[in-house]
C-alpha cells in the first residue's frame, strides 16, 4: 500500500508532466530534437520541477530544494520513471547538483550558498569542474595551474583536461595552486570562476564512442572574484576530497540497465538459440548471465541497505562510496561485454540500415563504458581508499 507521500507524488506527477515528454529521452542537455512542442514542454517541466523544489529535493528550501529526505527523493525518482519520464535538472546543472552544490552546503559561506545554489537547483546554471591536468590525472595533487591574488581578485593561469561540459557551462570550480612553496597537497585552493570571460578557452575532445562531454580548458589571466574561494585558502585538498566523495556517491546509482535496451537476459533470447522449454541453449552463457544478474542485484540491495541504515536521514557520504563506485563499474561493464557477445556481428556496427538503434547504441555504450574505470577517481584509486579507510591497511601510495 502506497504511503501518503508516495500517493501525493504520484498525483502531482500525473497532473504536471507534459504528455509530449512521456517516453522521451531527456538527455544530458535536453531532448535531442528540434520539435518546438517537445522543447516547449521540456521548459515547462523543468520550471515546474524547480518551483516544486524537486530539482535538488534534499536541499533546504531556502536554496531551491524541498527539504526532503533521501528516501523521499527516491520515491520521486521512482514515480517519475513509472510515468515515463525523469528529472532533467541534475543533468542541466552539470556538476552542480551532484558535486559542487553538496560541497558548497558544507564549506560555503551563506553568501555563496544564496548566490549559487538556487541556480543549480533550478537547472538554469551549469557548472563544470577544472580538476585533472595533462600531468596531473590520478595524482591530482601534482597540478600546476596557479592562481595569485591582486587588488581586483584572483588571476588564474594553466590548463585543465577532461573538463566535462566546459563548453556549455556558465561556472567552473577549479582546483589551483595558491602556494607553490608548500607541500604539494598543502598549497592548493578551490576557486569558483565564470566561464564566459576572455581568459577562458575550451576545446572539445572527441572520444571513440562518438559523442563526448569532455573538453580541454585553458586559463590565461582568467579572473575570479575576491570571495571566490570555496573553503579556506590553501585547504582545497580537504574540499576536493569531500567533493569527490559526493561524485562517487552520485555514481553508485549509475544505471546498470539502459533506456535503449531490454534487460540483457531478454535480449539474449532474441539473438541466440533456446531449448524447447525456453532456456538459452548455451549453458556457459546462462551461468555468466546469472552471475551478472546476481551482482547487479547485490549492488542495488547494498544501496538499499545503506539507505535503510540512514533511517530516513541523509545518507552519510564516506569511503563506502568507493566500494559502490567500483561495484557499479563492474556491473555496467560486464553488462556491455555480455550484450556485444550476445549480438555478435550485429553488436559491432557503427552506422547504416543493417543495424537497429538498439544495436548501434550497444557498441557505443560498450566503448563509452570503458571510461567508468577512470573518471571520478580510477578503479585502483578507489581500491587504495577502501584499503586505507575501510580495511585499515597501511599506506602504500606515495604521500605528498
The verdict on residue 186 lying in a domain is yes
Per-residue model confidence as pLDDT tens digits over 342-374: 999 998 888 888 998 888 888 888 888 887 887
Whether 37 and 136 map to the same domain: the answer is no
DSSP label of 235 = B
User: Which one is predicted more confidently, 71 or 177?
Assistant: 177
Whether 210 and 257 map to the same domain: the answer is no
pLDDT of 262 > 80? The answer is: no
Domain end: 165, 198, 233, which one? 233
pLDDT for position 1: 46
First to last CA, the chain: 55
Backbone angles phi, psi at 224, to 5 degrees: -135, 150
The verdict on residue 72 lying in a domain is yes
CA distance linking residue 317 with residue 103, whole number of Å: 11
pLDDT for position 101: 96
pLDDT of 254 > 50? The answer is: no
> How far is the CA of 337 from the CAs of 291, 332, 343, in angstroms?
13, 9, 10
The verdict on residue 67 lying in a domain is yes
pLDDT of 395 > 90? The answer is: no
Q: Which residue range forms the structural domain that includes residue 145?
A: 127-233
DSSP-assigned letters across all residues of 349-387? --SSTTS-HHHHHHHHHHHHGGGGGTTTS-HHHHHHHHH
Whether 77 and 136 map to the same domain: the answer is no
Residue 265 in grid coordinates: 537476459
What pLDDT band is residue 377 in, cutting at 50, 70 and 90? confident
Does residue 366 contact residue 248 with C-beta atoms inside 8 Å?
no
Backbone angles phi, psi at 260, to 5 degrees: -100, -15
Whether 264 and 211 map to the same domain: the answer is no
Residue 147 sits in a domain of what CATH number? Answer: 2.40.110.10
What pLDDT band is residue 260 in, cutting at 50, 70 and 90? low
Per-residue model confidence as pLDDT tens digits over 267-320: 999 999 999 998 999 999 999 999 999 999 898 888 777 666 654 444 455 667
Whether 213 and 290 map to the same domain: the answer is no
Domain end: 92, 112, 140, which one? 92
The verdict on residue 370 lying in a domain is yes
Whether 56 and 144 map to the same domain: the answer is no
The verdict on residue 169 lying in a domain is yes
Per-residue model confidence as pLDDT tens digits over 179-225: 999 988 899 999 999 999 999 999 998 877 666 788 999 999 999 99
Whether 281 and 220 map to the same domain: the answer is no
For the chain, the average pLDDT equals 88
Residue 278 sits in a domain of what CATH number? Answer: 1.20.140.10
CA distance linking residue 25 with residue 110, whole number of Å: 36
pLDDT of 261 > 70? The answer is: no
pLDDT of 57 > 70? The answer is: yes
CA nearest neighbour of 5 among 78, 84, 82, 98: 78
The verdict on residue 396 lying in a domain is no
Whether 258 and 223 map to the same domain: the answer is no
Express as a percent the part of the chain with pLDDT over 90.
58
Whether 309 and 191 map to the same domain: the answer is no
Active site residue: 11, 216, 247, 380, which one? 247
Whether 277 and 202 map to the same domain: the answer is no
Whether 228 and 271 map to the same domain: the answer is no
CA distance linking residue 90 with residue 98, whole number of Å: 7
Whether 70 and 141 map to the same domain: the answer is no
What pLDDT band is residue 133 in, cutting at 50, 70 and 90? very high
pLDDT for position 315: 46
pLDDT for position 247: 76
The verdict on residue 167 lying in a domain is yes
The verdict on residue 104 lying in a domain is no
CA distance linking residue 95 with residue 98, whole number of Å: 6
Measured from the Cβ of residue 337, the count of other Cβ atoms closer than 10 Å reads 15
pLDDT of 255 > 60? The answer is: no
pLDDT for position 252: 56
Per-residue model confidence as pLDDT tens digits over 19-56: 999 888 787 788 878 889 999 999 999 999 999 999 99
How many domains does the chain fold into?
3
pLDDT for position 172: 98
pLDDT for position 209: 67
Q: Is 358 a catalytic site residue?
A: no
Amino acid at each position: 500500500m502506497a504511503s501518503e507521500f508516495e500517493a501525493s507524488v504520484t498525483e502531482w506527477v500525473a497532473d504536471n508532466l507534459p504528455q509530449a515528454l512521456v517516453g522521451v529521452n531527456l538527455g544530458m542537455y535536453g531532448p535531442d530534437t528540434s520539435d518546438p512542442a517537445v522543447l516547449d514542454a521540456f521548459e515547462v517541466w523543468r520550471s515546474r520541477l524547480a518551483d516544486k523544489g524537486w530539482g535538488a529535493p534534499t536541499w533546504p528550501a531556502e536554496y531551491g530544494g524541498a527539504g526532503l529526505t533521501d528516501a523521499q527523493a527516491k520515491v520521486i525518482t521512482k514515480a517519475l520513471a513509472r510515468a515515463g519520464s525523469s528529472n532533467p535538472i541534475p543533468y542541466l546543472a552539470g556538476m552542480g547538483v551532484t558535486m559542487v552544490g553538496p560541497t558548497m552546503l558544507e564549506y560555503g559561506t551563506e553568501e555563496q550558498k544564496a548566490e549559487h545554489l538556487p541556480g543549480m537547483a533550478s537547472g538554469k546554471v551549469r557548472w563544470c569542474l577544472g580538476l585533472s591536468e595533462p600531468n596531473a590525472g590520478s595524482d591530482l595533487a601534482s597540478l600546476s595551474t596557479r592562481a595569485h591574488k591582486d587588488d581586483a581578485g584572483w588571476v588564474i593561469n594553466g590548463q585543465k583536461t577532461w573538463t566535462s561540459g566546459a563548453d556549455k557551462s556558465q561556472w567552473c570550480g577549479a582546483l589551483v595552486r595558491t602556494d607553490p612553496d608548500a607541500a604539494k597537497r598543502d598549497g592548493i585552493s578551490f576557486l569558483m570562476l565564470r566561464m564566459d570571460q576572455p581568459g577562458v578557452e575550451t576545446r572539445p575532445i572527441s572520444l571513440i564512442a562518438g559523442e563526448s562531454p569532455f573538453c580541454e580548458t585553458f586559463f590565461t589571466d582568467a579572473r575570479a572574484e575576491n570571495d571566490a574561494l570555496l573553503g579556506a585558502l590553501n585547504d582545497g585538498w580537504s574540499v576536493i576530497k569531500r567533493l569527490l566523495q559526493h561524485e562517487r556517491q552520485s555514481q553508485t546509482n549509475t544505471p546498470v540497465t539502459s533506456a535503449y535496451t531490454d534487460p540483457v537476459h531478454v535480449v539474449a533470447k532474441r539473438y541466440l538459440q533456446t531449448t524447447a522449454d525456453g532456456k538459452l541453449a548455451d549453458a556457459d552463457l546462462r551461468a555468466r548471465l546469472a552471475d551478472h544478474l546476481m551482482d547487479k542485484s547485490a549492488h542495488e540491495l547494498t544501496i538499499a541497505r545503506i539507505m535503510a541504515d540512514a533511517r530516513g536521514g541523509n545518507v552519510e557520504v564516506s569511503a563506502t562510496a568507493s566500494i559502490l563506485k567500483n561495484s557499479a563499474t563492474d556491473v555496467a561493464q560486464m553488462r556491455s561485454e555480455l550484450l556485444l557477445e550476445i549480438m555478435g556481428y550485429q553488436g559491432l556496427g557503427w552506422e547504416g540500415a543493417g543495424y537497429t538503434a538498439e544495436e548501434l547504441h550497444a557498441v557505443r555504450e560498450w566503448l563509452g563504458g570503458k571510461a567508468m574505470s577512470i573518471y571520478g577517481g580510477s578503479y585502483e584509486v578507489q581500491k587504495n581508499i577502501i584499503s586505507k579507510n575501510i580495511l585499515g591497511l597501511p599506506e602504500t601510495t606515495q604521500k605528498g
